[in-house]
């Protein structure tokens, strides 16, 4: 069996983004919270899905891509039953996949105004 190499948080976000882009995730954002006071993680990766089915498929793609390429599995997953807002927690990277309305309501990017925000172009 092939041995997987532990990734740093930034490299893990690259795999997460790859998983999201594989299924045409929209409005992908990588937020570097590592220098932000009070942050509970190093990175947020936030994405919008076009339907609950798309949100579910995006979450599955992230889980599969990360596991296959790094061996990492999340410590928790939330929201997979309804798929309006799915949270995947890899400890130093938290992935949040929203339906558009939920993302606009919670506006997570604005809550962390001092974070470095990288907007990933839609594929």
The residues that bridge with 47 in the sheet, in sequence order, are: 97
| Domains of the chain: residue spans and CATH | 9-112 (3.30.460.10)
CA distance 59 to 19: 8
pTM assigned to the model: 0.93
CA nearest to 45, candidates 27, 63, 61, 70: 27
Instruction: Dump pLDDT digits (tens) for 6-34.
Output: 689 999 999 999 999 999 999 999 999 99
| pLDDT score for 117 | 94
Burial group, residue 46, by CB count within 10 angstroms (0-12, 13-18, 19+): buried
Given a cut of 70, the residues of the chain with pLDDT beneath it are 1-6
């Amino acid at each position: 069996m092939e041995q997987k190499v532990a990734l740093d948080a930034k490299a893990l976000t690259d795999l997460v983004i790859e998983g999201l882009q594989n299924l045409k995730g929209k409005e992908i954002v990588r937020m570097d919270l590592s220098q932000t006071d009070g942050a509970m993680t190093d990175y947020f990766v936030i994405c919008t899905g076009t339907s609950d089915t798309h949100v579910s498929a995006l979450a599955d793609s992230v889980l599969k891509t990360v596991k296959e390429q790094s061996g990492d599995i999340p410590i928790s997953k939330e929201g997979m039953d309804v798929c309006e807002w799915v949270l995947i927690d890899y400890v130093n990277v938290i992935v949040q996949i929203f339906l558009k309305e939920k993302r606009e309501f919670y506006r997570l990017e604005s809550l962390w105004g001092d974070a470095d925000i990288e907007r990933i172009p839609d594929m």
